[in-house]
Amino acid sequence: ITGAGLEPLRGSTIIEQIDLSLVREHQRPNISPEPPISREFVLPILDSIIEREGCSLMHLQFPQVWREGPSAESEFHAFILRYNQ
């Protein structure tokens, strides 16, 4: 699982929710080994969704490993800032 399969969603204006956490509801988000989902594949696709006028995306859930201690310099942190605008 790298995230490349999300390519058909590129530029979508109708998708409302994306859950990349790779866990079921009420499961612990600690996955071992860490999921191989790649920021390099996923973030450009998500950027193409949020930059579109009429974007319907309201909820994004990320793998815990992405959320742990993001530095202000990280590509992920920069995406979060763009998404929250």
What are the tens digits of pLDDT across the range 13-32?
Answer: 999 999 888 766 666 656 66
Give the pTM.
0.81
> Which pLDDT belongs to residue 33?
63
Which tokens belong to 32? 């071992």
> Which pLDDT belongs to residue 74?
86
Contact 16, 49 (CB under 8 A): no
The per-residue pLDDT of the chain, averaged, comes to 84
> Which pLDDT belongs to residue 26?
60
> Which pLDDT belongs to residue 22?
72
Contact 5, 43 (CB under 8 A): no
All residue ranges of the chain with pLDDT < 50 are: none
